[in-house]
Structure 1
């Protein structure tokens, strides 16, 4: 159970006792938090003692009497406001007036309780303060996590683009200086390698844009009836050029159209990522099998390859952001580490799941299960809370 600490700063003993009794065993529930939220109560009679407690162990909420002996409640509030502490202050006073409330609010008070107040009024005010505080902290944590993700992506992107850019620089300098003489085949090969590197870098940037659009919730989802088999055929055609270069066969297995309610671009992202990876991490003269089917209100997408595979430990990390399996067999393969994490996030939008079965040197099978009826386009989905 999460616990919030309340500091009561009140010079009247009877009022302190009444507050303690009202909040004893008081708990609340918020839809944003699992389980109950409880409260611990600490009490002092003067502002000076409150300052000592705040300096040593800041509370979450302060119930602060407006009129205190020595330093006034308003003076204490002014000090707290100037320090920008993560504390919500509720002013309590028998001298309630519009002027008093305005002054306290300007100094940073969250709410105002006029004496005398009932236990129900106190609990309602504490509930509002707790909810505001928790949502504010969750928003701050989310903002920090997003900044961290952006920083991680920039670091990963800079690292992953370094090698292909160096290769491009080398190839283009050879072309510029015509260092290979008149052998046009050598130049053709270099141009092909440059185009491959550019395609890989474009894919990395596309992965980031896909993930950003999905996680931001700012893009309007356009839910229509789509044919997953037809989208799979298109994704196969996109991957076919690279597959043919390495003599990799791609087969699609589907008994007729497979229809579902979905945002077409999201299903395209899933299939493009899975099929592209199945080719990219495959062996020469390998094969890829794409199975599309539907039953019991679900759409099943399965992509199998005869590639390098991976261990169970590697597979367990595969759907996290920026995770790439790096070893001798994959070190020359470009990637952002975002494609599969994006696939997982999209699957969650459809109340679905994604899983992988793999064996080193034998291949992998990725399976995505989606509900045929998508969540409404206007539904906002907080993906970070589901991961």
Structure 2
């Protein structure tokens, strides 16, 4: 057995991403090659001939990630293909997984997340190669293989994907720990066990479909709901050298997060279409009325119409700005321009900017600075201003006339603490747990008439965490909400 390090290829057109992945992997003892596009990646792959893992960005010049996946898979069916993707390409990542990619790594990611995906992929590769070697070495039933190969079974048992092995007599002869968690009905029964023991008719059907292919390999791939999750089930027959079927192996991979993100994307597109349509329709209506001269010319009335157009135009601009910021943060392209910043002064500017709006709604907006300690942090001014703009704006939105919004700045140990407390409608425990999720908006009688995209608080959390800070919320229905931001003190 060779002691040479495992070789990994990183194909990404972003120099920062390539170099970042290379440093992380080299530090773990891997040999790493890099390529800036799909064509270069294919040349590097063919030149070395011993690459075990390929990290693929879906959006690359000359040869795209999807084409690269197919080309590499044709040259080496055992290579581990990991898709590097951002949210905007999540539906493409699902398609890449269906075409043979082992999994995906959403940008941005932590070093540990990258290393975990690589280790899991290498475990799967080792298992696949070992299983093929065993099939070529011995032509016997999978029941005998399962009984004798405890080492392979141990590897399978440690995998995060569920694995089921069924012999040609429709008997379950192996199920790993992940499969036992997914299907509790097969967890405690002795093996071999009848396939009917599995409660999911869809799982049984895909295995039966594979077992029916006695001579020609037939790989079945299907999305199947199990419990509260969705799983990509890959079932393939195990054939001997003479073409005789020994049974089937099914691998169940959790794609719940992928399907939820795809659903969230569809909901978001629908929501944005509605949020854009309403203000545009109002602007068009007012302008048509002004241009047509219907109802005569009343300067005061015309001015009010133009002011309403301006309000709706600002709503659209805010939505676009939030979308741009979200994409920048999610793709790792948002750059912070840190400098010493007086948080207390920024908060005071924000509160002052919202005074007129608070007065229009008959809401008392106050600012209290507790103590005389300095409130400077090392931060990006625009990002921090956006945080407090969103928090104060939300407090005013969801506080009825006659209510109060109290903003307080203080120093707690080594953190600057800013709290925004209102006497508004408050939140239920379920709403409170999801308030920082992308695109989430509480649905109730009061919020139905409040405009918004569900991105503001999500961006608050992301911006605060980019500054190594925290944001928390306390709220009860009918008793208002309090958001608290803590940022580490800087020089």
Asked if TM exceeds 0.5, the reply is yes
Q: TM-score, normalised by structure 2?
A: 0.51
Following the alignment from structure 1 to structure 2, what is the Cα–Cα distance between the partners of residues 56 and 173? 55
Residue number in structure 1 paired with 2:386: 269
Following the alignment from structure 1 to structure 2, what is the Cα–Cα distance between the partners of residues 313 and 266? 28
- Extract unaligned runs of 5+ from structure 1: 30-34, 72-85, 88-133, 375-387
Q: Does 1:203 align with 2:297?
A: no
Q: Does 1:23 align with 2:152?
A: yes
Contact kept? 1:323, 1:337, Cα under 8 Å: yes
Residue number in structure 2 paired with 1:240: 355
- Extract unaligned runs of 5+ from structure 2: 1-119, 169-212, 223-232, 245-249
Following the alignment from structure 1 to structure 2, what is the Cα–Cα distance between the partners of residues 224 and 213? 20
Contact kept? 1:26, 1:38, Cα under 8 Å: no
CA shift, 1:281, in A, is 2.2
Aligned to 1:331, the other structure's residue is in SS state: helix
Alignment match of 1:301 (pick from 404, 410, 418): 418
Contact kept? 2:286, 2:309, Cα under 8 Å: yes
Deviation per CA, 1:207-253: give whole Å up to 9, x if none. 22222222221222333332211221222233233223334332222
* Equivalent residues, number: 300
CA shift, 1:159, in A, is 0.9
CA shift, 1:265, in A, is 3.0
Contact kept? 2:283, 2:312, Cα under 8 Å: yes
Residue number in structure 1 paired with 2:480: 363
Contact kept? 2:344, 2:409, Cα under 8 Å: yes
Deviation per CA, 1:42-68: give whole Å up to 9, x if none. 899xxx868557449976899999xx4
Q: Which has the higher contact order (CA 8 A, sep 6+)?
A: 1
Q: Does 1:225 align with 2:225?
A: no
Contact kept? 2:473, 2:483, Cα under 8 Å: yes
Q: Does 1:177 align with 2:302?
A: no
Contact kept? 1:358, 1:364, Cα under 8 Å: yes
Following the alignment from structure 2 to structure 1, what is the Cα–Cα distance between the partners of residues 446 and 153? 62
Could you say what the CA RMSD is over the residues aligned between the two structures, in angstroms? Answer: 4.2
Contact kept? 2:419, 2:484, Cα under 8 Å: yes
Residue number in structure 1 paired with 2:189: none
Following the alignment from structure 1 to structure 2, what is the Cα–Cα distance between the partners of residues 50 and 226? 71
Distance 1:23 1:241, change over 3 A: same
In terms of Rg, which structure is larger? 1
Distance 1:28 1:352, change over 3 A: farther
Residue number in structure 2 paired with 1:354: 472
Following the alignment from structure 1 to structure 2, what is the Cα–Cα distance between the partners of residues 60 and 333? 48
Alignment match of 2:396 (pick from 279, 289, 301): 279
CA shift, 1:331, in A, is 2.9
Q: TM-score, normalised by structure 1?
A: 0.62
Residue number in structure 1 paired with 2:306: 191
Following the alignment from structure 2 to structure 1, what is the Cα–Cα distance between the partners of residues 463 and 452? 19
Following the alignment from structure 1 to structure 2, what is the Cα–Cα distance between the partners of residues 50 and 237? 77
Contact kept? 2:471, 2:483, Cα under 8 Å: no
